[in-house]
Structure 1
Amino acid sequence: MDQDHLPAKLAKRGSTIVVPLVVLAGIAAIGAGSFYTVNQNEVGAVTRFGQLVSAAPVSPGLHFKLPIADTAHTIRTSIERISVPEMRVKTIDNQFVSVDLSLTYRTADPFKALFQVGDMGSGSINDKLIPFVQSRTLDVFGQVNALEITDKKKQLESNILTAVQTPAIDLFGERIEDVQITNLHYDENFERNIQQTVQTRNQQLSAANLLKVRETEAQQAVATAKGQADSAAAIAEGQKRVAIAQAEADAQRVRLRADADAYEVQKRSEAEANAKTIVGNAEAAIIVAKVKATGSADAYAEILRADAAKNWNGSVPSIQMGAGANAAQPVMVLPPIGQKP
């Protein structure tokens, strides 16, 4: 009897075990569905039954949400780089060129990127961003000549960036930071023409550079000759100035020597005249003293005549002393009367 009831007992016991396990599993599922994680370089947002409930992008970390009702969405905000598939563009001179691009971008408006363009919209961001960039690239290349592409590569990249940057934020919430042309492919015939054109241009540049070198060499030769001429002229001018200075110095020395000699003669004459004056004055003073001593000029004259008579040797004196204009006059001796001279 007991054996007949054994399966029922086991079934009842099994049911008592399964129900708690199911409850625990449900609780665990609800608990796990109540949290979501936003990683670094990401922001998040929560929708409830398809309606956005986050007022602002949710920062990285662990966050709470209602289980089952809420759904968490995340999007990367770090700088990303994607390759734009090769496109065939047409230049203003009707040449076709295959272009490869590389885009560097980051999410500037997470809500627009998530819920208007990205996963919440139809398709991903790249599905809409890449065709938009390709369209603007066609417009930019349609304004240049094919021969200018290589020389204007940086300008073309800048023009493409200008054409897509602001609209990409408005339309997709993505800010394109940089656009690079990674590769260019020309048609085979056009590449040959380009090579020939480049070769011709290089030859022209080489000829122009050679001409500049020759012009520079000529200018240097002219400058050297002018420098040598200027140096020779400067040396000649210096020598002339030295000669003039030497001549002026010699003339100055001659003038100074002549002035010195003249001064010496003058001073010697003045000295001799002064000496004679002094001697004359002294002799006059002596005579005056002797006259005073004798008492009168006549007395002094008698003394002189007495001395002359005492010292006379019989010859006639050659001069006669006097006064005034006849102070000293020659004496003429006449022969006796009746005797011939």
Structure 2
Amino acid sequence: MTLDEFMLNFLSNMSGGTIVLLLIAALLIISILLGVRIVPQSEQHVVERFGRLRAVLGPGINLIVPFLDRVKHRVSILERQLPTQSQDAITSDNVLVKVDTSVFYRIVHPEKTVYRIRDVDGAIITTVAGIVRAQIGKMELDEVQSNRATLISTIQHNVEAAVDDWGIEVTRAEILDVNLDQATREAMLQQLNAERERRAAVTRAEGERRAVELNADAELYAAEQAAKARRIEADAEAYATEVVAKAIRDNGVEAAQYQVALKQVDALSQVAAGEGKQTVILPSSAIDAFGEAFKMLKGKPS
């Protein structure tokens, strides 16, 4: 017996009520399968009814009306990274640069994304390119190089404002590199070398000036020390003069004559102490000076 013959015999043996029950059971099973939707954690489902938006199903078990509602779009809500893009831009000081950018985003409102924009990635790439050119056009090359963090923050803020109507959140925007053409690179290298030479010349000049200052300080210190020595010597001479003057004032002319006689005796002693043989001729006044000195020594109290 064939399958067709078996089915015909089976249906002919069944009553009409049994067939209706089977049809109802099959309808219930199909309704349950169509009405229960299990959405993964990383997705959101957009449900339409007769071609219009009905609901957005979140992760978990969801119920819809069988045969009326159907899941039209399954949208991933995971963070996405756009391919690295390069675009040319001209700074405010007329320097052509090539900027490599990368953007990360995720879909937060799937109903806006599926009904308001067709090519999400292409639209974001175009938006980022325009914003990058506009922002770099307001800055000089040195500012682009030194204020990259500020530039990235500004670009991300402007991109977020531009794509908000598409139900998209820009999580991160990066400027990976800023490249210059060969002529600009050579000009900047020459400028860098000139700046290094200027700094080296300034350093050498500062060293020479410092050496001159130190030499002048040394000479000044030596002069101060010499002046101090002369001042001490002058003070010593003044003190000796004061002592002699006091002795003359206290002891009269005899004390002065005594000091002169001592000087003469000392001078003659130094001459006589010389090496070799010499003849010392003394004037008669020197003999008298010796006598006067001995008289004074005898008469000087001990």
Q: Give the TM interval when normalised to the shorter protein.
A: 0.5 to 0.7
Separation (CA, whole Å) in 1 of partners of 2:114 and 2:47? 13
Instruction: State the secondary structure of the residue aligned to 2:114.
Output: coil
Counterpart pick for 1:152 among 144, 152, 166: 144
CA apart distance, 1:173: 2.8
2:25 corresponds to 1:23: yes
Question: How many residues were matched structurally?
Answer: 240
User: What is the identity, as a one-letter code, of the residue corresponding to 2:39?
Assistant: T
Contact kept in structure 1, 2:95 and 2:141, CA below 8 Å: no
Q: Does the Cα contact within 8 Å between 2:127 and 2:162 map onto a contact in 1?
A: no
Residue identity matched to 1:30? I
- Name the residue aligned to 1:224: 211
- Asked if the contact 1:35/1:63 (under 8 Å) is kept, the reply is yes
User: Superposition pairs for residues 215-254 of structure 1, below 5 Å?
Assistant: 215-238=202-225, 240-241=227-228, 244=231
Matched, 1:176 2:163: no
* C-alpha RMSD of the superposition: 5.3
CA distance in 2, matches of 1:50, 1:130: 30
Q: Determine the structure 1 residue equivalent to 2:111.
A: 115
TM-score, scaled relative to structure 1: 0.48
Q: Secondary structure at the match of 1:103?
A: strand
When Rg is computed on C-alpha atoms for both structures, the one with the higher figure is 1
Q: What aligned pairs does 1:193-212 form with structure 2 within 5 A after superposition?
A: 194-212=181-199
Equivalent-residue separation in structure 2 for 1:88 and 1:13 (angstroms): 81
What residue in structure 2 maps to residue 284 of structure 1? none
If the length of structure 2 is used for normalisation, what is the TM-score? 0.53
Assess if the C-alpha contact under 8 Å between 2:81 and 2:102 holds in 1. yes
Task: Please show how residues 252-263 of structure 1 align to structure 2 within 5 Å.
Answer: none
For structure 1, the 5+ residue unaligned runs are 186-190, 266-341
SS of equivalent residue, structure 1 residue 119: helix
Q: What CA distance in whole angstroms lies between the structure 2 residues aligned with 1:67 and 1:94?
A: 63
Q: Alpha-carbon deviation of 1:216?
A: 0.8
Work out whether residues 49 and 69 of structure 1, in 8 Å CA contact, stay in contact via their aligned partners in 2. Answer: yes
Which structure is richer in relative contact order (CA contacts within 8 A, separation 6 or more)?
Answer: 2
Q: 1:227 to 1:86 in 2, by over 3 A?
A: closer
Identical-residue share of aligned pairs (%): 22
Distance across 1 between alignment mates of 2:123 and 2:106? 15
Unaligned runs of 5+ in 2: 252-302
1:102 matched to 2:102: yes
Provide the secondary structure at the position in 2 that maps to 1:205: helix
